[in-house]
Amino acid sequence: MCLLTEFIILIIILIIFYLINNYLKKKENFCYGNDYCNGNKNNALCINQKCLKCGLVPECTKDSDCSPNNCIKGCCDTA
């Protein structure tokens, strides 16, 4: 009987942690439109309630990540 009670308590604790984690993930990713996302980044877009730093363009750290294009301020250019 004691083992069953401990198991149920463990399951309840895991469910609570899952719900808290799920809530925090949604809170971080929620955006209020492109005015909120853009800030100082011209190409940031709010898509599916997530702020995408580079919009529809891939993020990068160096020019070779974007070849043949260039990496400008962490985003591949499209020209």
pLDDT tens-place string over residues 20-39: 877 666 554 467 767 677 76
Model confidence at 12: pLDDT above 90: yes
Q: pTM of this prediction? A: 0.48
Q: How far apart, in whole angstroms, are the C-alpha atoms of residue 1 and residue 78?
A: 65
Query: What are residue 50's phi and psi, to 5 degrees?
Result: -125, 140
Kindly tell me the sign of the dihedral angle through the C-alpha atoms of 15, 16, 21, 23.
Answer: positive
Mean pLDDT of 1-19: 88
| Of the candidates 57, 56, 60, 64, the residue with the CA atom closest to the CA atom of residue 73 | 60
Task: Tell me the Ramachandran region of residue 8: left when phi exceeds 0, alpha when psi lies from -120 to 50, beta otherwise.
Answer: alpha
Predicted confidence at residue 56, as pLDDT, reads: 86
Mean pLDDT of 9-23: 86
